[in-house]
Chain A
Amino acid sequence: MGLLSDPHCRRALSRLVLRLNTPLCTLSYVAGLGWFLALAFQPLAPRTYMSENAMGSTMVEEQFLFGERALSYAREFAGHKKKAGGMPVAWLEKTMWNLGLEVHRQPFSRTLPFPDETRERYMVKGTNVYGILRAPRAASTESLVLSVPCSEGPHNNQAVGLMLALASYFRGQIYWAKDIIFLVNEHDLLGMEAWLEAYHDVNITEVRSSGTLGRAGAIQAAIALELSSDVITSFDVAVEGLNGQLPNLDLLNLFHAFCQKNGLLCTIQGKLQRSDWDSLPAYAHSLQTLLLMVLAQASGRPHGDHGLFLRYRIEAITLRGINSFRQYKYDMTTVGKTLEGMFRKLNNLLERLHQSYFFYLLPSLSRFVSIGVYMPAFGFLILESRPGLLALVPPLLICHAAGLALYFLPVLGQHVATQHFPVSESEAVVLTVIAIYVAGMALPHNTHRVLAGGGSDRGWMTLKLLALLYLAVQLGCLALLNFSLGFLLAATMVPAAAAVQPNGPKVLLAVLLVLATPAVTLLLGIFLQRELVEAPAAVAEGWQLFLAAVAEGLLQHHLYGSLLFPFLALCAYPCWLLLWNVLFWK
Chain B
Amino acid sequence: MLAALLLPLLLAAGPGRAGAGRERRDALREELLLSPLPAGDVAATFQFRTRWDADLQRGAVSHYRLFPKALGRLVAALGVRELHLALTQGFWRTQAWGQPPLQAPAGAELWVWFQPTVTDVDKAWKELSNILSGIFCASLNFIDSTNTVTPTASFKPLGLANGTDHHLLRYAVLPREVVCTENLTPWKKLLPCGSKAGLAVLLKAERLFHSSYHSQAVHIRPVCRDASCLAVSWELRQTLTVVFDTFSSGQGKKDWSLFKMFSRTLTDACPLASQSKVYVDISPKNKEKELLEVTPPPVSVHEAIVQGDKRTYAVYDLLSPSLFNTSRSLNVQLKWKRPQDSSELPTPVLHAQRYVSGYGLQTGEISTLIYNTHPYRAFPVILLETVPWYLRLYVHTLTIVTKGKENKPSYIHYQPAQDRRRPHLLEMLIQLPANSVTKITIQFERALLKWTEYTPDPNHGFYVSSSVLSALVPSVIAMKDMDVEQSPLFTSLFPSSDGSSYFVRLYTEPLLVNLPTPDFSMPYNVICLTCTVVAVCYGSFYNLLTRTFHVEEPSRGGLAKRLANIIRKFRGVPPL
> Chain A: residues with CB nearer than 8 A to chain B?
1, 4-5, 93-94, 97-98, 100, 102-103, 134, 136-142, 171-174, 200-202, 212, 215, 217-218, 311-313, 350-352, 354
A97 to B358, CA, bound (A): 29
Per the bound structure, the CA–CA distance linking A181 and B509 in Å amounts to: 17
Decide if B357 touches A94 in the complex (CB within 8 Å).
no
Q: Which of B243-251, B304-312, B558-566 contacts A (4 or more CB under 8 A)?
A: B243-251
CB-based closest 8 A-B pairs? A201-B357, A139-B106, A351-B459, A139-B91, A141-B512, A137-B90, A100-B247, A136-B212
Contact: B342 with A137, CB < 8 Å? no
Write the B352-363 contact mask toward A (1 if CB under 8 angstroms, else 0). Answer: 010111111100
Q: How many whole Å from B574's CB to the nearest CB in chain A?
A: 32
Interface size on B, residues (CB 8 A): 50
* Contact (Cβ within 8 A) A138 B248: no
Say which one of B75-83, B385-393, B537-545 lies at the interface with A: B537-545
Could you tell me if A142 and B90 are in contact, using CB atoms closer than 8 angstroms?
A: no
Q: List 15 A-B contacts (CB under 8 A).
A: A94-B342, A100-B252, A103-B342, A137-B211, A139-B510, A140-B91, A141-B509, A141-B512, A172-B248, A217-B509, A218-B512, A218-B513, A313-B361, A352-B460, A354-B517
Known: A134-B212, A137-B211, A312-B359. A352 touches B459 (CB 8 A): yes
Which residues from chain B contact A93 at a C-beta distance below 8 Å?
A: 342
- Report yes or no: A136 in contact with B245, Cβ–Cβ below 8 A: yes
Q: Is B505 an interface residue (CB 8 A)?
A: no
Supposing A140-B91, A218-B514 touch, asked if A97 and B359 sit within 8 A by C-beta, the answer is: no
**Which B residues lie within 8 Å of A142 (CB)?**
512
CB distance from A152 to the nearest CB of B (A): 27
When distances are taken between beta carbons in the complex, the residues of chain B under 8 Å from A103 are: 342
Rounded to whole angstroms, the CA-CA distance of A97 and B91 in the bound complex is 20
User: What chain A residues lie within 8 Å of B512 (beta carbons)?
Assistant: 141-142, 217-218
Given contacts A1-B540, A5-B540, A200-B358, 11 further A-B contacts (CB under 8 A): A100-B252, A137-B212, A137-B214, A139-B90, A141-B461, A141-B509, A173-B248, A202-B358, A215-B353, A311-B359, A352-B459
A141 neighbours in B (Cβ, 8 Å): 461, 463, 509-512
Q: Which residue of A lies closest to B180 (CB)?
A: A137
- Closest approach, in angstroms, between the C-beta of A211 and any C-beta of chain B? 12
Establish whether residues B90 and A138, one from each chain, have CB atoms under 8 Å apart when the complex forms.
yes
Q: For B543, what are the chain A residues with a Cβ–Cβ distance below 8 Å?
A: 1, 5
- With most chain A CB atoms within 10 A of its CB, the pick from B89, B342, B513, B544 is B342
Contact A350 B457 (CB under 8 A): yes
Most A C-beta atoms less than 10 A away, residue of B107, B212, B247, B355: B355
Interface presence of B160 (CB below 8 A): no
Q: Which of B336-361 contact A (CB under 8 A)?
A: 342, 353, 355-361
Contact A218 B358 (CB under 8 A): no
In the bound complex, do residue A5 and residue B357 qualify as a contact, i.e. CB atoms below 8 Å apart? no
Determine whether the beta carbon of B342 is less than 8 Å from that of A97.
yes
* A-side contacts of B544, CB under 8 Å: 4-5
Bound Cα distance from A351 to B96, whole angstroms? 29
- Specify the chain B residue showing the minimal Cβ separation from A141: B512
Q: B461: which of A134, A201, A218, A312 is its contact (CB, 8 Å)? A: A218
B457 contacts A351, C-beta separation under 8 Å: yes
A114 to B525, CA, bound (A): 50
CB distance from B348 to the nearest CB of A (A): 14
With CB as the reference atom, state the residue of chain A lying closest to B345.
Answer: A97
Q: Is the CB of A201 within 8 A of B365?
A: yes
Q: CB distance A201 to B245 under 8 Å?
A: no
- List of B residues within 8 angstroms of A5 by Cβ: 540, 543-544, 547
Inter-chain CA distance A350–B461, complex, in Å, is 10
Nearest residue (CB) in A for B517 is A354
Contacts of A137 in B (CB 8 A): 89-90, 209, 211-214
- Which residues of the partner chain A approach B367 to less than 8 Å between Cβ atoms? 201
B210 in the interface (beta carbon within 8 A): yes
Q: Which residues of chain B have C-beta atoms less than 8 A from A201's C-beta?
A: 355, 357-358, 365, 367
Chain B residue, CB-CB nearest to A204: B359
The reply to whether the CB of B93 lies closer than 8 angstroms to some CB of chain A is: yes
Q: Is the CB of B90 within 8 A of A171?
A: no
Within 8 A of A (CB), among B179-210: 209-210
Residues of B within 8 A of A (CB): 89-91, 93, 96, 106-107, 175, 209-214, 245, 247-248, 251-252, 342, 353, 355-361, 365, 367, 369, 437, 457-461, 463, 509-514, 517, 539-540, 543-544, 547
Scoring B89, B175, B248 by chain A CB atoms within 10 A of each residue's CB, the highest score goes to: B248
Q: Which of B90, B369, B511 contacts A217 (CB 8 A)?
A: B511
Closest Cβ of chain A: how far from B339's Cβ, in Å? 9
Q: How far is the CA of A142 from the CA of B355 in the complex (A)?
A: 11
Which A residues lie within 8 Å of B437 (CB)? 212
* B355 interface neighbour in A94, A171, A215, Cβ under 8 Å: A215
The residue among A93, A141, A215, A351 with the most chain B CB atoms within 10 A of its own CB is A141
Q: How many angstroms from the CA of A141 to the CA of B247 in the assembled complex?
A: 22
A574 to chain B, nearest CB (A): 28
A493 → chain B closest CB, angstroms: 29
Query: Shortest distance in angstroms between A450's beta carbon and chain B's nearest beta carbon?
Result: 41
| Chain B residue nearest in CB terms to A198 | B357
Across-interface contacts of B342 in A (CB, < 8 A): 93-94, 97, 103
- Kindly state the separation between the CA atoms of A97 and B344 in the bound complex, as whole angstroms: 12
Closest to A313 in B: B359
Among the interface residues B90, B93, B251, which one has the most CB atoms of the partner chain A within 10 A?
B90
User: Which residues in A have their C-beta under 8 angstroms from that of B106?
Assistant: 139
A140-B357 in contact given A171-B248, A201-B367, A352-B514 (Cβ < 8 Å): no
Q: In the complex, what's the smallest C-beta–C-beta distance from A334 to chain B, in angstroms? A: 24
CA distance A202 to B367 in the complex (A): 11
Of B214, B361, B509, the contact of A140 (CB 8 Å cutoff): B509
List A contacts of B357 (CB < 8 A).
200-202
Complex: how many Å from CA A94 to CA B339?
A: 13
Contact assessment for B359 and A200 in the assembled complex, using a CB-CB cutoff below 8 Å: yes
Q: How far is the CB of B17 from chain A (nearest CB, A)?
A: 49
Interface contact A136-B211, CB-CB below 8 Å: yes
CB distance from A468 to the nearest CB of B (A): 23
In the complex, how many angstroms separate the beta carbon of A22 from the nearest chain B beta carbon? Answer: 28
Q: Within the complex, what minimum Cβ distance (angstroms) separates A154 from chain B?
A: 28
Cβ of A153 to closest chain B Cβ, rounded Å: 29
Give the residue name and chain of the B residue nearest to A96 (CB): B342
- Nearest CB to that of A94 among chain B residues? B342
- The distance from the CB of B350 to the nearest CB of chain A, in whole angstroms, is 15
Residues of B within 8 A of A215 (CB): 353, 355
When chains A and B are docked, how far (Å) is the Cα of A172 from the Cα of B511?
26
Q: How far is the CA of A539 from the CA of B444 in the complex (A)?
A: 54
> Within the complex, what minimum Cβ distance (angstroms) separates B42 from chain A?
14
Q: Are A4 and B247 closer than 8 Å at their CB atoms?
A: no
Q: Tell me the smallest distance from the CB of B177 to a CB of chain A, in Å.
A: 11
User: Which residues of the partner chain A approach B248 to less than 8 Å between Cβ atoms?
Assistant: 100, 171-174
- The CA of A4 and the CA of B547, in the complex, are separated in Å by 13
B459–chain A nearest beta-carbon distance, Å: 4
Which residue on B lies nearest to A3, using beta carbons? Answer: B540
Min CB distance B197 to A, Å, is 28
Distance in Å: Cβ of A500 to nearest Cβ of chain B: 32
Contacts of B107 in A (CB 8 A): 139
- When C-beta atoms are compared, the residue in chain B nearest to A201 turns out to be B357
Cα A582 to Cα B124 in complex, Å, equals: 79
**A200→B213 CA distance, assembly (Å):** 26
Report how far A579 CA is from B90 CA in the complex, Å.
63
> In the complex, what residue of chain B is closest to A103 when comparing beta carbons?
B342
Tell me the minimal C-beta distance from A222 to chain B in angstroms. Answer: 14
Q: Which A-chain residue is minimally distant from B371 (CB atoms)?
A: A212
Within the complex, what minimum Cβ distance (angstroms) separates A224 from chain B? Answer: 18
| Complexed CA–CA distance, A229 and B50 (Å) | 65
Across the two chains, which residue of chain B brings its CB closest to A93? B342
Alpha-carbon separation in the docked complex, A324 to B509 (Å): 47
Inter-chain contact B514/A313, CB cutoff 8 Å: yes
A103 to B: closest C-beta gap in Å = 7
A202 and B514 CA atoms in complex are apart in Å by 17
Q: What are the residues of chain A within 8 A of B540 when measuring CB–CB? A: 1, 4-5
Shortest distance from the beta carbon of B327 to any chain A beta carbon, whole Å: 31
